[in-house]
Structure 1
Amino acid sequence: MRKEQVKMSLKNTKTWSRVLVPVLLLCCVSYYYSHFFLQSSEGAFSKALCDSWNISQKWERLNFNLPCKTCMVVGNGFAIKNTSLGSAINKYDIVIRLNDAPVRGYEADVGNKTTMRLFYPESASYNPSIHNDPDTLMVLVPFKQQDVRWLKEILYNEKRIRKGFWKPPPEIWLGKTSHIRILDPYFLQQTASRMLHLPLNTPPKTNQIPAHPTTGILAIYVALNYCDVIHIAGFGYPESKDLKHPIHYYGYDTMKSMKNSYHNLSHEVKALKRLEDSGAVVYLHPHS
């Protein structure tokens, strides 16, 4: 009888272990994310946004003590130029920037706070510290296998292989190794298929390259997964059919450079319109 009781006790212990271990792991991951991955700065601005979000979601009547993350995704579009949004952008808990978009010299319009920056090798700045904060997370978007290989060659100081890039990436990159992250390809797949309704595969035996999401729409999808309040600025393309019209708030790229891009801009415009109409994202400035 005693042996049977011991067996039953061991069996119950194993059963509870199977249940509790995943829960504990989830708690640990959630704690790590909230305390280390997204670094929040509490303030009156953040509290006001979160209070309005809580009221709309009616969380308080459920007695949930949930932290609220306010996020700003700063696009590189010309629309943000001369908006004087810089000080407002700096007040968000999380500020996400894209590619090699500069901050210095443009602070009045785009602010200077950067929590994380999404980039890929061809859009990498050789010295990330110039336009980022010391603790900015640099998130590599692996559009292709060569992108991860490039990072490996940089980190391990291996021979640089330049084949496979549409533009030569930096051969020297001064980013902090402790601040490098790689975006889970799942986000790429979900953004392409669920948000943009793009085919993930091209017909066999063709040289056609499938359209892929822009870094900006990817950043918004990431924010939708981790943030409670999401505002955006610098998104959208000029309505003008003038191919000489600038597309960024910096530099000299024009609409002409987008003619042969691998992005489906019409799908992205529709996706952003759906998100705006549903209240999932809010623009900080008038847009087309």
Structure 2
Amino acid sequence: RPVGLLYLIISIFLLLLLPPELAYKYGNLSEGVCKPGYAAAKMTTIYPKFMKPAPMFLDRNFKRLAKVSSYLPPFGFKTQERIIDSILTTTKNYGLGEELDSLSCKRCIIVGNGGILSNKSLGSRIDDYDVVVRLNEAPVAGYRKDVGSKTTMRITYPEGAIQKPESYEKDFLFVFSAFKPLDFKWLRQMVFKEKLRGTEGFWKSVAHHVPQEPTEIRILNPYFIQEAAFQFIGLPFNNGLMGKGNIPTLGTVAITMALHNCDEVAVAGFGYDMNTPHAPLHYYETVKMSAIKESWTHNISKEKEFLRKLVKANVITDLTNGI
């Protein structure tokens, strides 16, 4: 079959791009077997300074993380140490859970919210991954055929979190990503199940309750926001403060997190095609592509360039070919 032959030629070519010891290591694995260290090895071919170790979530030793301790949110946690301490004392867990943490090779998929996921029937392929990452309020119920039913973690921030408690899945990690100091106050109220107070300062309404036990809540390491913004996409540094066009999207932050903590990384539902203004923006609502204006916080075109680079270098696999 010509397609099979093409696949073989491409595979051989990609192996030639790796250092000989890795080409040998991966060349001997049968197809479909998880390749230990693969994403990081490929990443260092395009970003030679890439270093794999970077914890996924903050734990009780978080103050030792030099790269983030001197930055304010979203690029670090400066000024928020006490509140983070009180949250982490209550959540008590700082990993993915025993079963996943003990895997010697992890295959992860980041499921974006793009309309491109509709009618692709990728659900069972998505569920095959060890770690399935979902973003913000993107639903599973009613869309399982296309987006799968497994959720290992849902990464979100106050304005992006699901607002109706009954819309949450039963079994997943609620992973919080902070973009401003106020976000940590919100998280503390969610963890301690307090009545939500002080909502001025959010740019839209936020969830009043997260129906997860504290032990199922995690704080994403802000290093991934910092690294995605400044090392990878090349957004303006702005003295390390949040400013115009220097915040990466949560999808790119999630991919960055996966490159450090997973051996193979795939994505689905990524990519905005501005040439199809009438296509649905998200798989779960009728808002059209034309609704996305140039954002104040994100630089969509620079980000697209970065993601294309990852796909081209085979660092990540794009199941929906939208990047």
TM-score range, shorter chain: 0.7 to 0.9
Question: What are the residue-to-residue correspondences of 1:186-197 with 2, within 5 Å?
Answer: 186-197=223-234
Partner amino acid, structure 1, of 2:33: C
- Higher RCO (Cα < 8 Å, 6 or more apart): 2
1:276 equivalent to 2:311? Answer yes
Q: TM-score, normalised by structure 2?
A: 0.65
1:246 equivalent to 2:229? Answer no
Residue in 2 aligned with 1:146?
A: 182
Q: Residues 88 and 133 of structure 1: is their aligned pair in 2 closer, same or farther, counting only changes over 3 Å?
A: farther
Residue in 2 aligned with 1:92?
A: 129
Question: What are the residue-to-residue correspondences of 1:137-216 with 2, within 5 Å?
Answer: 137-156=173-192, 157-201=194-238, 209-216=244-251
Partner amino acid, structure 2, of 1:145: P
Instruction: Determine the C-alpha separation between the residues in 2 that align with 1:141 and 1:106.
Output: 25
Q: TM-score, normalised by structure 1?
A: 0.72
**Residue 96 of structure 1 aligns to a residue in which SS?**
strand
Larger Rg belongs to: 1
CA contact (8 A) 2:186 2:196 kept: no
Q: Deviations along 1:19-75, whole A, 9 cap, x unmatched?
A: xxxxxxxxxxxxxxxxxxxxxxxxxxxx85335668997xxxxxxxx8111111111
Instruction: Determine the C-alpha separation between the residues in 1 that align with 2:140 and 2:110.
Output: 14
Give the CA deviation at 1:155: 2.8
Instruction: Determine the C-alpha separation between the residues in 1 that align with 2:142 and 2:298.
Output: 29
Instruction: Determine the C-alpha separation between the residues in 1 that align with 2:165 and 2:256.
Output: 23
What 5-or-longer segments of structure 1 have no aligned partner? 1-46, 58-65
Instruction: Determine the C-alpha separation between the residues in 2 that align with 1:252 and 1:284.
Output: 23
Q: Residues 188 and 208 of structure 1: is their aligned pair in 2 closer, same or farther, counting only changes over 3 Å?
A: closer
Aligned residues: 231
- What is the RMSD computed on CA atoms of the aligned residues? 2.8
Residue in 1 aligned with 2:51?
A: none
**Residue 238 of structure 2 aligns to a residue in which SS?**
coil
Instruction: Determine the C-alpha separation between the residues in 1 that align with 2:231 and 2:210.
Output: 34
Residue in 1 aligned with 2:71?
A: none
**Residue 118 of structure 1 aligns to a residue in which SS?**
strand
Q: Please identify, of 270-279 and 249-258, the stretch whose mean Cα deviation from structure 2 is larger.
A: 249-258
What 5-or-longer segments of structure 2 have no aligned partner? 1-29, 42-102
Instruction: Determine the C-alpha separation between the residues in 2 that align with 1:160 and 1:117.
Output: 24
Q: Deviations along 1:138-163, whole A, 9 cap, x unmatched?
A: 11110111111111123331551111
Give the CA deviation at 1:186: 1.3
Instruction: Determine the C-alpha separation between the residues in 2 that align with 1:211 and 1:253.
Output: 25
Among residues 69, 92, 104, which one is paired with 1:67 in the alignment? Answer: 104
Question: What are the residue-to-residue correspondences of 1:75-90 with 2, within 5 Å?
Answer: 75-90=112-127
